[in-house]
Amino acid sequence: MKNKLVEEFLSNKKEEYPEELYSQLNEVCRYPFKYIRKMMSRDDIPDIRIQYFGIFKPLKKRLKGVLMQLEQRKENMDKKEYEKMTTILKKRLDENC
């Protein structure tokens, strides 16, 4: 799927960036969001600061939702994994308040 903004940028800046390929520029534009996704999937759920965009934090509502999902799947999970995940989520919820 082509990104119209990337295409528009390349067409307007052909003289300044003659060697730039669409795929290279598209990767550069998408990287911050891939990074955010990667960091948010970590166990410690950190706040992420991206220059010019701001700080990305997990939503309190989302943390509560994940906690409820864990509670529903409790019987099908390993006890240690369940306790680890609930501890992490509860800690993060306390930090956000």
| Same domain as 50, residue 71 | no
Per-residue pLDDT of the chain (97 residues; tens, 9 = 90+): 567 887 888 788 777 877 777 778 888 888 888 888 888 777 777 888 988 889 988 888 888 988 999 899 888 889 998 998 899 889 888 886 5
| Same domain as 65, residue 31 | no
Residue appearing with tokens 């534009």 = 29
- The alpha-carbon radius of gyration of the chain (Å, integer) is 20
| Same domain as 50, residue 3 | yes
| Same domain as 65, residue 50 | no
The count of domains in the chain is: 2
pTM, entire model? 0.58
> DSSP class of residue 56?
E
Structural domain containing residue 81: 59-97
Distances (CA, A) of 48 to 16, 41, 56, 61, 90: 32, 12, 5, 18, 19
What is the Cα–Cα distance from 26 to 17, expressed in whole angstroms?
A: 14
| Same domain as 88, residue 45 | no
Per the CB < 8 A criterion, the answer to whether 29 and 6 are in contact is yes
| Same domain as 41, residue 3 | yes
